[in-house]
Structure formats: C-alpha cells, structure tokens
C-alpha cells in the first residue's frame, strides 16, 4: 500500500506526492476576475483564487496536462510554470503546440517516469469526450491519466480529465479498475448551448461508480468558475436523493491542505 499526499489547489489543479515524486495536474494559478474565451461563442469568468500561489510549490517532477486549450485547465500562470517541470505529459495535439518539450499520448498508450530511488510510474492516457457526441472537432482533444506503480494495493490512481460519461470511458475504466479516482465534475454548461453539458454531472458520476466501484472518489474541478452548473452543494443534493454507493466512496478534499489517501 502507498500513502499518497494530495493537495487540491483549486479547479483541476492537484499536487500529488508519494515515494519522492511530486506531480501536478492541470496548473491554474491566475487570480480571479478574468473572463476566458473557450471558442465558438463560449466563455467563463474565474471566480476563486488558487489556494496556493505557484511560487509556494516545491520542485515539480511532472505536469499531467489533460488539455492545453482551455484557460480553466491551463492559464497564463500555469504556462509560466511549465518550463520548470521535469516532464510534461499531455495529448498528442497538445504536445505539438506547446513551446516546451512534452510527451504526447493517445488513449491507451503509456509512458514511464523513472528516477533513482523512486518507484517507476506508468502513465496511461484514458479517453475523454469533453461534451456531447460528435463535439470533439469543436471542443478539442482531451485526455485522462491512469497512474500505476509498484506497491499499489487498491488499483491505479485515475485522473478522469474533463469528460462526460460515455461508452469508451466506461470500457477504459472497467479495464483499469482504479482504486482511487480524481473525478472532474461540475456539469459545465454555457448559455449559448442550453442544456448540453461538457463535464460529468452527479448523475453521470453515479453511473460511472456503479460500473467500476472504486474505493475512493475525490471530486475536483466543480466550482470556482462561472460555467459550472453543479457545485459541491448541488452534487450532494443530487446524491442525497439517490440510492448509491457513491456517497460512501466520496471524499471532498480541502483546498490548500495536504490529505493522505491509501492507494
């Protein structure tokens, strides 16, 4: 069993520490107040500051970047941090567009992080669909990440990335059987696209949990921006009215404070 320290900095940004490794997901460190364009007439304003400033971070061994083209997953301060990271892992298209060397992965493909005196980490890209069917040409390429290393007792650590629930996601998750899930929630929506959702809702999270039954589910990326339609209170209200084992697995990470999780 591995004890992993997780610090939720805000949005999708989490510092993951174990075995001498320091990994950072989707770095977002801009101050609140700015409105970011997401293309095709959509935009959102950042409402909440990060719990930690980028200058307070330790040296980062790798950045796990689910996508490069949305400001709520990679903002200006996050981009400024990238050259200081030892390794960047992202999508194939993202790796081509970044001005820094990066490892680009397609779903199902893997890369390995290795360093003397540390456990090797195998990082496998998992499928994401950041919106309704056939929306990828509009919303762009997004990926999730499954992390495995020696000594895990409960299965891989899975970062879902910005995605709705869909068949390819369910199949990949069933094959992985993750024990711990960093689950991007929030039910993102925009006035211009009405009821369409671009990240997972609580109802979809229930379906995913029933399919794979992970030990621990840690929601991230569900508040702090104008475009989220389900914050923590909304998720909890939805789950309160449902008979689901997800409530037993769900654990809300405090912002800016390290929390230990057994993986």
Q: Does domain 3-252 have CATH number 3.60.15.10?
A: yes
The token pair at 80 is 């400024």
Residue 138: pLDDT band (50, 70, 90) is confident
Q: What is the pLDDT of residues 167-200, one digit of tens each?
A: 999 999 999 999 999 999 999 999 999 999 999 9
Domain parsing of the chain, residue ranges = 3-252
Average pLDDT of the residues in 241-260: 90
Among candidates 187, 181, 189, which has minimal Cα distance to 231? 187
Query: What is the reported pLDDT for 39?
Result: 87
Residue matched to tokens 């007792």? 153
Residue 243: pLDDT band (50, 70, 90) is low
Query: What is the reported pLDDT for 244?
Result: 78
Percent of residues, the chain, with pLDDT higher than 70: 100
Task: Evaluate if residue 117 carries a pLDDT over 80.
Answer: yes
CA distances to 29, 41, 44, 110, 227 from 36, rounded to whole Å, are 14, 11, 5, 32, 11
Rounded to the nearest 10 degrees, how much is the dihedral formed by the CA atoms of 219, 225, 226, 230? Answer: 10
Task: Evaluate if residue 137 carries a pLDDT over 90.
Answer: no
Query: What is the reported pLDDT for 7?
Result: 98
Report the sign of the C-alpha dihedral through residues 167, 169, 170, 175, in that order: positive
Task: Evaluate if residue 2 carries a pLDDT over 90.
Answer: no
> Please, what is the average pLDDT of the chain?
96
The token pair at 92 is 């194939």
Q: What is the pLDDT of residues 67-84, one digit of tens each?
A: 999 999 999 999 999 999
Angle ∠(204,209,215) on CA atoms, nearest 5 = 145
pTM reported for the whole predicted model: 0.96
Average pLDDT of the residues in 101-123: 97
Residue 1: pLDDT band (50, 70, 90) is confident
Q: What is the pLDDT of residues 6-65, one digit of tens each?
A: 999 999 999 999 999 999 999 999 999 999 999 888 999 999 999 999 999 999 999 999
DSSP structural state of residue 19 = T
Residue 242: pLDDT band (50, 70, 90) is confident
DSSP states along 185-233? -S----GGGTT--SS--HHHHHHHHHHH--SEEEEESSSSBTT-S--HH
Contacts of 134 (CB under 8 A, 6+ apart): none
Contacts of 163 (CB under 8 A, 6+ apart): 127, 128, 129, 130, 142, 144, 169, 184, 199, 200
Query: What is the reported pLDDT for 188?
Result: 97
Contacts of 240 (CB under 8 A, 6+ apart): none
């Amino acid at each position: 069993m591995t004890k992993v320290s997780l610090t939720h900095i805000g949005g999708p940004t989490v510092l993951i520490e174990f075995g001498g490794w320091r990994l950072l997901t989707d770095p977002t460190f801009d101050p609140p107040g700015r409105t970011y364009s997401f293309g095709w007439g959509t935009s959102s304003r950042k409402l909440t500051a990060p719990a930690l400033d980028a200058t307070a971070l330790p040296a980062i061994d790798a950045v796990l970047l689910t996508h490069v083209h949305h400001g709520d997953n990679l903002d200006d301060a996050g981009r400024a941090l990238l050259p200081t990271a030892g390794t960047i892992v992202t999508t194939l298209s993202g790796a081509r567009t970044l001005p820094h060397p990066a490892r680009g992965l397609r779903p199902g493909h893997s890369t390995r992080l290795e360093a003397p005196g540390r456990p090797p980490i195998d990082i496998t890209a998992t499928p994401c669909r950041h919106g309704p069917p056939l929306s990828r040409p509009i919303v762009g390429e997004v990926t999730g990440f499954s992390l495995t290393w020696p000594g895990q007792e409960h299965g891989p650590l899975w970062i879902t990335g910005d995605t709705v629930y869909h068949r390819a996601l369910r199949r990949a998750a069933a094959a992985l059987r993750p024990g711990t899930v960093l689950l991007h929630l929030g039910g993102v929506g925009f006035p211009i696209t009405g009821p369409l959702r671009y990240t997972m809702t609580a109802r979809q999270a229930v379906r995913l949990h029933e399919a794979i039954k992970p030990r621990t589910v840690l929601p991230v990326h569900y508040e702090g921006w104008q475009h989220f339609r389900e914050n923590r209170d909304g998720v909890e209200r939805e789950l309160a009215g449902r008979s689901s084992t997800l409530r037993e697995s769900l654990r809300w990470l405090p912002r800016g404070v390290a929390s230990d999780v057994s993986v």
